[in-house]
Amino acid sequence: MKKYKLTEESMIHKGYTLWRIEHIATGAKGGWVESEKNLSQLGDCMILDNAKVYGDATISDHAIICNEAEIYEQASVYGHARVSEQASVYGNAQVYEKASIKSNAQVHGTAHVKQETTVTTDEHLSDDPSTWNKINSLVSLKLITQHVQAHESQTLYANGRHQIQVQVLLEALDIQGNYISIPSHEIFKNIQWEDENHTPLNDIFLFSDIPGKYVPSLAVENEITEPEISSCLFFLSTTQALGKIKLHARCLMHHKTVSLDKRKEDTTAASTNPQHIVSNSLPIHLVEARTFQQKDITVETIEKRKPDSYNSILKSYYVNFSSSTDSISESTDIQDEYWFNYKQKGNYKACSTTTDNSVRINYWAQFTTTFHITDNWEITITEKNHERSGACFWVYRVWHGALWANHIWLKPMVFNLYDQYGNHVTIKVNVLKDAVLEFIVVSP
């Protein structure tokens, strides 16, 4: 059943023929539409007073358009949103949830206004991508990180692998004073970095817009609900242990209203913040890469008898960081299925191999490998290989076959184990009597 109908009252507005609507249940006159496609017959959405909706714009759900507000082009207003007074929404903009647009505000481009955001006064919000050159001034330039309190330093290990995540938030205005949206890649290439003494840091840090392996508890990018804020994620690493610093962002604005010889940088450093923009800094502690000793690794073993149809034993070794180090095994550079030792003495045969390079515990994971004992005889084993965390090695021993053959070969086996911060320990594997594996730390 329809909730409203088009009356015979019409008007020409900006080249569009608009029709006044009437609420069927009450007979109350409403606002103006170009056709029924502009206002859904479902839900409680309504156009009131002298508000106008035309073009391909749509109003649905429980949205209210009232007073002298206008919605046009391909804009959409839905949810419990409200547009009132002399506000306009156009372009491909979307206003939804409990957002409110009022006064003389204009929302356009591809801007999304949501949640309980209120846009008022004479604000112009657009999410159309703008280049850095369109910025005339900044309202704010802030740095955000996670996992630490505001007064605490975030630790960054100087191993070139550990990264911390820093989110840059800025509010930019064009020469007309309108808020403009800056794409993240434009922010990434224009932001420079300095410490509290204005010493440039771009040669100290390695910057990426893509996270590597060693961003502990990688944070999800903070959701920006204010449409006037542009953001970009930076992932910082370094090889220089400089101690405690305060990280500041800086950037050169074109300031088209300022003569070329008087243009200055905007920065989060308060003493050189000529525009007095809202800003902050981030305390970071750049520390030496962590080193490990023999006592810092542990080895667990699991032995399984007759994992196949032979008289055999499969022994699994799991090499991990000790719990006393607070380090967690994150990765290893072990080569998958690397068979590095074989010994045959009569019918006794022993094979030592890696499984794969995963270090995460997975009770359901299985691994299959084949030992080619002779040209005519091979043994295939399938067993669990991640019952514990850490780098996994297998030693397979079998008593089968001819009694008179003797053969032995050994390849070097050295690998690196990395913790969650990218710190590493180098470990050499020795094969002892009865194919027992010994793991020796060879680098601090």
132-288: CATH topology: Immunoglobulin-like (2.60.40)
Q: Is the pLDDT score of 129 beyond 90?
A: no
Q: Is the pLDDT score of 78 beyond 90?
A: yes
Give the pLDDT score at 391.
97
Give the pLDDT score at 263.
45
Weakest-pLDDT range from 88-92, 226-230, 279-283, 291-295 = 226-230
User: Regarding predicted confidence, which is higher, 148 or 442?
Assistant: 442
Weakest-pLDDT range from 34-38, 70-74, 100-104, 217-221 = 217-221
Give the pLDDT score at 444.
60
Q: Is the pLDDT score of 251 beyond 70?
A: yes
Q: Is the pLDDT score of 414 beyond 70?
A: yes
Q: Is the pLDDT score of 59 beyond 70?
A: yes
Q: Is the pLDDT score of 258 beyond 80?
A: no
Give the pLDDT score at 260.
43
pLDDT, average across residues 388-394: 96
pLDDT, average across residues 204-223: 76
Weakest-pLDDT range from 53-62, 71-80, 401-410, 425-434 = 401-410
Q: Is the pLDDT score of 42 beyond 70?
A: yes
| Torsion angle in degrees (nearest 10) through CA of 425, 430, 436, 440 | -30
| Domains in the chain: boundaries | 4-124, 132-288, 294-443
pLDDT, average across residues 185-190: 89
pLDDT, average across residues 12-25: 94
Q: How confident is the model at residue 272 (pLDDT cuts 50, 70, 90)?
A: very low
Residue pLDDT, tens place only, 148-186: 555 578 899 999 999 999 999 999 888 888 888 888 888
Identity of the highest mean pLDDT range in 13-17, 212-216, 417-421: 417-421
Give the pLDDT score at 305.
93
Q: Is the pLDDT score of 221 beyond 80?
A: no
Mean of per-residue pLDDT scores for the chain = 87
pLDDT, average across residues 183-190: 88
Q: Is the pLDDT score of 276 beyond 60?
A: no
Q: How confident is the model at residue 109 (pLDDT cuts 50, 70, 90)?
A: confident
| Dist CA 363 CA 225 (whole Å) | 41
Give the pLDDT score at 270.
45
Give the pLDDT score at 136.
86
Q: How confident is the model at residue 287 (pLDDT cuts 50, 70, 90)?
A: very high
For the question of whether the overall pTM of this predicted structure is more than 0.75, the answer is no
Give the pLDDT score at 274.
47
Residue pLDDT, tens place only, 342-355: 999 989 999 999 99
Is the dihedral angle over the CA atoms 180, 182, 187, 190 positive or is it negative? negative
Q: Is the pLDDT score of 80 beyond 50?
A: yes
